[in-house]
Amino acid sequence: MVRSIELLAPARNADVAIEAIKHGADAVYMGAGSHGARAAAGNSLDDIERVVKYAHIFGARVYVTVNTIVYDDELLQVEQLVRSLYNIGVDALIVQDMALLQMDLPPIALHASTQCDIRTPQKAQLMQAAGFSQVVLARELSLEETAAIHASVDVPLEAFVHGALCVSYSGDCQAGWALQRRSANRGECPQICRLRYDLLDADGRMLVKGKHLLSLRDLNRSKYIEEMLESGVSSLKIEGRLKDADYVKNITAHYRRLLDEIIGAHPDKYVRASYGSSKISFTPDVAQSFNRGFTTYFTKPLALSSRMASINTPKWSGVPVGTVKSVSPKFITAALSTQLANGDGLGFFARSGEFVGFRLNRVDGNRLFPASAVSPEPGSTLYRNRNKVRADLMMGNTAERALKVDFILRAVGWGVALKATDESGASVELTAALELAPASKPQAEVRANTLRKLGGTHYCPGDICDEAGDWFVPVSVLASLRRDVLERLDAARIATHKFDYRRGADDKALTVLLDGKLLDRHDNVSNKLAEKFYTSYGAKVKERAMEVMPLAKKRVQVMETRYCLRREMGRCLRTVEGREWRGPLVLASAYGNLEVEFDCARCRMFVYSS
């Protein structure tokens, strides 16, 4: 069976969403005015509708995030929001709160967010039984674990392929709420994992000072795309709803190219989820966009020596471009490995380990003139995290996406008819009244050239079949007919867009999966409708979400991570060096302390507020 494969790109606003589609995305996901897990990336209904109309021309889809937990006094607001999104043609909602399953909603498709913490076959089965049309897997899963989930359900699986990583299992992080009263489950993540920490042992002895010990590198699964597809992933998701257009253009184009190669090599197994081809005016390169260094995370088993954190800086250091030779009051002399330009952004790691950035005011051969006073040590590596020349290029129009269209022109009793059929099979035919007269010279080439002029449309020329014979058709008439038929084809594509709809719930399966289950605060039950969903199938809510409970005055688990700090620092408890660090370990920051414990049998780390 041929499986539809989707490249899913992020968008902070409508303009970025359209750029993502132009650069090859089969779908985009973006926030609405409220209740998205990135509160700073909300969009109006008018802007979302503009994206919907553009996307549907190419058969691309628009998903809107309503993936926070919902409070009781917000339930009606969320229900009204969903109805509005359905009415403007949104393809699906990405949600976390089970309250939506109890609302009186239109039949819009629901996707289970990564905030639902789907890391086991049983959890995926629960989401399928509840009526979700697609499930977003936890980022921590290996290919083998993904394949096991795929074997247990028949809904499409969505998995992250690129971008920032949360150190905790998504949806199960209360660190921001515990330390700063800002909840990731409410779209207000304060990025506790990106802070600088001192690491202390049980006796208060300083083990590590002032490092970003929970800050992970960025995910990059470029080398494992085909294996992800083989494991059952159908939707490859790029993280980054707060990223700018430059980032989204580059990363989307990169993965579009990789996917096209795989789909082209296996037409018997995979088909692209949307239509149209993108012409890109730059060379995609993931190293040129913001990243904290890359990791494949747990995609495949890792060697004990491999590293997945960026402990020196949570910022983008950039690409190495040279080495400092000497420093004078006005300029830096460097041995450069690439040509630099005025306005480039450079940086280096100081002796303290801190990353220091600066703008390059002027470059003269191997002499660099910073815009601000900096003093890198001789021998320091220089990094470029803003390529001025490339940035200027990326600000322009860097892609055009077009559907191939075939034309058939023929004479009819009252004039000529033009039929346009695009690559998806959509077809429109219009006629123009015309008193036909024999042409004085051959017309085929003139008419073909007129039909090929498709600039300013969403189409590029395919086959042209001219059956109009030797009749004279004025160029103005044919050009007008071409324009009208393509406008109608646009409208037809939007009107006949294929929607997915919400699946029905499987009550029997839900009862088997939930009966007798005790739910605690990690299940994020924050309102009466979510509680009703669970209890109607036999579950019991022992504890509601932390955000709606009185502030805890006791030691509380705020993260579970597959990332192990001991392993990252070469201090695994299974080694002699690891046993030298006596726990529980403490992460101390300006915002408060966190205690860290380890479950070596399951290779998990637990973080507690103290």
pLDDT in tens, 147-170: 999 999 999 999 999 999 999 999
Query: What is the mean pLDDT of the segment spanning 570-586?
Result: 92
Mode of pairing for the β-strands spanning 134-136 and 109-112: parallel
pLDDT for 33: 87
Query: What is the mean pLDDT of the segment spanning 544-562?
Result: 89
Give pLDDT tens digits for 266-298: 999 999 999 999 999 999 999 999 999 999 999
pLDDT for 301: 86
Higher-pLDDT residue of 198 and 1 is: 198
On average, the pLDDT of the chain sits at 95
Q: Say if CB 564 and CB 605 are below 8 A apart.
A: yes
Instruction: Put residue 16 in one of left, alpha, beta given phi > 0 → left and psi -120 to 50 → alpha.
Output: alpha
CATH 2.40.30 range(s) for the chain read 312-394
Mode of pairing for the β-strands spanning 381-386 and 319-327: antiparallel
Give pLDDT tens digits for 484-529: 999 999 999 999 999 999 999 999 999 999 999 999 999 999 999 9
Give pLDDT tens digits for 176-194: 998 899 999 999 999 999 9
Per-residue confidence at 40, pLDDT binned at 50, 70, 90? confident
Per-residue confidence at 563, pLDDT binned at 50, 70, 90? very high
Where does residue 325 rank: exposed (0-12), middle (13-18), buried (19+ CB within 10 A)?
middle
Give pLDDT tens digits for 97-144: 999 999 999 999 999 999 999 999 999 999 999 999 999 999 999 999
Nearest to 552, CA basis, from 247, 144, 278, 179: 179
∠ CA 537-542-545, nearest 5°, is: 100
Identity of residue 435: E
pTM, to two decimals: 0.95
Query: What is the mean pLDDT of the segment spanning 251-265?
Result: 98
CA distances, 98 to each of 136, 152, 213, 269 (Å): 15, 21, 34, 34
Cis peptide before 156 (omega within 30 of 0): no
Per-residue confidence at 38, pLDDT binned at 50, 70, 90? confident
Nearest to 71, CA basis, from 531, 528, 521, 558: 528
For 3-165+217-248+257-274, give the CATH class: alpha beta
How many other β-carbons are positioned within 10 Å of the β-carbon of residue 119?
22
CATH 3.20.20.380 range(s) for the chain read 3-165+217-248+257-274
pLDDT for 71: 97
Give pLDDT tens digits for 48-102: 999 999 999 999 999 999 999 999 999 999 999 999 999 999 999 999 999 999 9
Q: Say if CB 607 and CB 558 are below 8 A apart.
A: yes
Give pLDDT tens digits for 356-365: 999 999 999 9
CATH entry 3.40.1350 includes domain 312-394: no
pLDDT for 585: 97
Compute the CA torsion angle 276, 279, 284, 288 (nearest 10 deg). Answer: -110
Can you point out the beta strands (E) in 484-555? 518-519, 540-541
- The rounded distance, in Å, linking the Cα atoms of 448 and 452 is 6
Half-sphere CA count of 467, side-chain side, radius 13 A: 12
Instruction: Report phi then psi at 468, rounded to 5.
Output: -85, 0
First to last CA, the chain: 53
Per-residue confidence at 554, pLDDT binned at 50, 70, 90? confident
pLDDT for 85: 97
Residue 304: is its pLDDT beyond 80? no
Sheet holding 197-200, edge to edge: 206-211, 197-200, 585-589, 592-599, 604-609, 556-561
pLDDT for 37: 66
Half-sphere CA count of 99, side-chain side, radius 13 A: 23
- Both tokens assigned to 536: 């109607």
pLDDT for 116: 97
Per cent of the chain over pLDDT 90 is: 92
Nearest to 489, CA basis, from 415, 410, 402, 413: 402
